[in-house]
Amino acid sequence: MAGRRRLTRPPTTSHGGHQAATGGCVIQLTKKEDSLIIDPIVPCTPISLTLAVLLPDDLHQISFGLTKGCNPDDTAFWIIDFVFRDKVGTAFQDRVKLNLTVNAENSPAAEALANSGLTNMDITFLNGPITNRARKLPAGTTEDHKTARMLTALVDQHAPE
């Protein structure tokens, strides 16, 4: 229990998971048997990561983004952005643009991916099956359940053991 203080209390007093502000520090009080545990609350910190890859044909580009946002109650939410671009003339234009919200149960996997970064296998999966699927979609696609499942699977494989 490093970093925690244990306060004992009479067993007849009930106290369940309340927050209190003390001297500028917010703490979480949680009941464990007949004592209270004081946990400092770590505020949510937003982050955003993006990887852009120019494909070997120099005519296509993919971008993968992972964003952690913070709700007013300091809980986190995660968003995956995937963009497949075609080169038209001298500029790239978005062909497929997907924006997915990560389910709450997959948040630990998203956090682990953000902390560890994409592996070579992840990048190969983005360049291979996910890009091949995106190439088959019509220009202007903003929603595709199969590609969404593939992107979610890429994040899920980073779930902590």
Q: Is 81 left (phi over 0), alpha (psi -120 to 50) or beta?
A: beta
- 85 and 11 part of one domain: no
pTM of the model: 0.70
- 130 and 88 part of one domain: yes
- 81 and 146 part of one domain: yes
- 67 and 127 part of one domain: yes
Sequence-ordered list of residues with C-beta below 8 angstroms from that of 120, at least 6 positions apart, any chain: none
What domain range includes position 29? 5-40
Within-domain flag for 161: no
Per-residue pLDDT of the chain (161 residues; tens, 9 = 90+): 444 444 434 343 344 444 444 444 444 555 555 665 555 666 889 999 999 999 889 999 999 999 999 999 888 999 999 999 999 999 999 999 999 999 888 899 999 999 999 999 999 999 999 999 999 999 999 999 999 999 999 999 999 88
